[in-house]
A and B are shown apart, each in its own frame.
Chain A
Amino acid sequence: MTSTQTAGPHRRPVRRKSGYRGLLYIAPAMALVLVFFVLPVLFTVWMSLHKWPLLGQPTWSGLQNYTRMFSDIRFLQALTFTAKYTFFVTIAIFAVAFPLALFVERHRPFISFYRTAIFLPVVVGLASASLLWVWLANVDSGLFGPLLQRLGLTSGKVNLLATFDAAFLTVIAMVVWKIAGFTMIILVTGLQAIPTELTEAARIDGAGRWQRFRYLTLPLMRRTIALALILSVTGSILAFDQFYIMTSGGPQNRMISVVYYIFNQSFVSFNLGYGAALSIALLAILVAISVVQLWLLRVGDERP
């Protein structure tokens, strides 16, 4: 039963009596993945080729669901809105997270307190964070309205969720508050991987703070920045909770994200087949973006 080979520290896993015993150990995991992941993915493709109502028989419709989305103005609006949101929220998150990462990178008194405080919103749910900010931003008993008034920035009551621009800014502010700590920690690991000798050498050579940042820190951080960027972009494209909870689609339904639109089509209008086709489109977009980002990362790598 036991192996007769001498034990070395880097030995490959030994083949035991039954090579298939390992399958028993991974069987539960595989069963879950097959039933709740592989099957649904395949099923999504199948459904997308049908007219599929909640009740009644699904009927084959070929690529009709796919051609439909190109003339679906509300879908195209959702797409544009999601792109716009992803663009602005990613910039906002980096604008806050990068300075914070530089701030908390080194060990200084009370740094772990500051770090933890900034990170705390990351561990609460997006739904909780959205609810919290809906209250802070609401017109009657919120905090921001009276605060802005006291600071003399507005006169009279302001409803931050009533106009598109104000609601958009409020949602972005919430997401930055919730996510910046996460991006910050990722950037900190990148910063800490930079050898201190390099920065010391640059300092001795007379490079100023900005020069060191521009010509040393930024290039060496490229992989980390790319990782944080990919996580932020893919996360934003899938945004749903904040729009559903904070603005219920926003003023004049202008804040419907792609996932929100899929939700509406599938579970409000019960066009399950069309919802599935939209899901495939979303997947294609995500894959395309990941490929482009990975490619950009590799192209950059060729420059030393």
Chain B
Amino acid sequence: MTTKADMRLRRQRWAAVRYHGIGLGAAFFFLAPFVITFLSSFRPNAEAGLPPLPPWPTTGVSFDAYRALDTFGSGIWRHMLNSFVVSTGTVFLTVVVSLLAGYGFSRYRFPLKNVMFVLIIATLMIPFQSILTPLFIILARLGLNNSLFGLTLVYVTLQLPFSVFMMRNAFDAVPKEIEEAARIDGARDLKLLVRVLLPLVMPGVATVAIFAFLNAWNEFFAALVLLSSNDNYTLPVLMTAVRAGRLGAINWGAVQAGVAVMVVPCLFVFLLLQRYYMRGLMAGAVK
């Protein structure tokens, strides 16, 4: 009764079911922790101490967890601002510094050029975890200890190997003719760089900016070591206080709310600019 075509159709359908079964299972495993935390962060105080089964608020949506989070450190807004200032500062400085350096390495010849390029790339070989102690002392000598600006400069330096590499390649890809033409029209130096070349290397700038933002926003170890006063803590450092608990009791609602606050900007930036992030990942990995 069943024809060959029937059998093939059935087999295809079974393959599709299996494929989507595996796909949905994997997606569930990787997404569930986010969804559960996010939903749980809106449970009222009374539910925060209970296991999240189900994770959504059963007695009405509440912002108790976020209010509890606000009682730690110098208030959640302050620490969000700290993280925001450090991250945007890192993005801005990284873009400016690597744009200039990328242009210099791509278009100029000068003594020791290759040595300096290798030196910048070599920053990758030595993990910053191993130079934090002297960084701590050097920042203190510069009067930049426990300062968000000092931390920003460290983050910018950590971003440089990837960013300079990325920007140099971006400039290498711009045809020289465009530059020559602009020069004949009278554009020179910084004006040429900003007006004519910047729009052409914008994809590279976007890539550099995303990586700088995510790395600065998420960084924990250097911030933990280099920031010493409560007021200056970035979000991840603040969260160690929340996680440690007061008098031994941990407010899990506040932990969920804190995770939500830290995670949402990353997911947002990534989902919005996925294309550039992936390009950067490939460039970084293949290098």
Contact = CB atoms under 8 A, between A and B. Distances in A.
Q: Do A and B come from one complex?
A: yes
A141 interface: yes
B85 interface: no
B192 to A, nearest CB: 11
Given A113-B27, A117-B26, A36 B157 contact: yes
Interface stretch (A73-81, A126-134, A206-214): A126-134
- Of A29, A41, A142, the most chain B CB neighbours within 10 A belong to A29
A216 B100 CA distance: 45
Contacts of A44: 130-131, 133-134
A259 B26 contact: no
Interface stretch (B4-12, B71-79, B201-209, B257-265): B257-265
Interface size class of B (residues with CB under 8 A): 35 or more
Interface string B253-275: 00110110011001101110010
B123 A26 contact: no
A99 to B, nearest CB: 9
Interface in A115-135: 116-118, 120-121, 123-128, 131-135
B89 interface: no
Contacts of A138: 250, 252
A22 B30 contact: no
Given A2-B183, A44-B134, A263-B221, 19 more contacts: A19-B111, A23-B110, A35-B157, A100-B26, A110-B20, A114-B23, A118-B30, A124-B266, A124-B267, A128-B236, A128-B259, A133-B33, A140-B252, A185-B281, A231-B285, A245-B240, A266-B136, A267-B133, A282-B130
Interface of B: 19-20, 22-23, 26-27, 29-31, 33-34, 36-37, 48-53, 55, 96-98, 100-101, 103-111, 113, 116, 119-120, 123, 125-127, 129-138, 142, 153-154, 156-157, 160, 164, 175-177, 180, 183-184, 188, 214, 217-221, 224-225, 236, 239-240, 243, 250, 252, 255-256, 258-259, 262-263, 266-267, 269-271, 274, 277-278, 281-282, 285-286
10 contacts: A24-B104, A30-B119, A35-B157, A37-B123, A37-B126, A37-B131, A103-B22, A123-B270, A126-B218, A186-B285
Interface of A: 1-3, 7, 9, 11, 13, 15-16, 19-26, 28-30, 32-33, 35-41, 43-44, 47, 100, 103, 108, 110-111, 113-114, 116-118, 120-121, 123-128, 131-136, 138, 140-143, 145-147, 150, 177, 181-182, 185-186, 189, 227, 231, 234, 238, 240-241, 244-245, 259, 262-263, 266-267, 272, 275-276, 279-280, 282-283, 286-287, 290
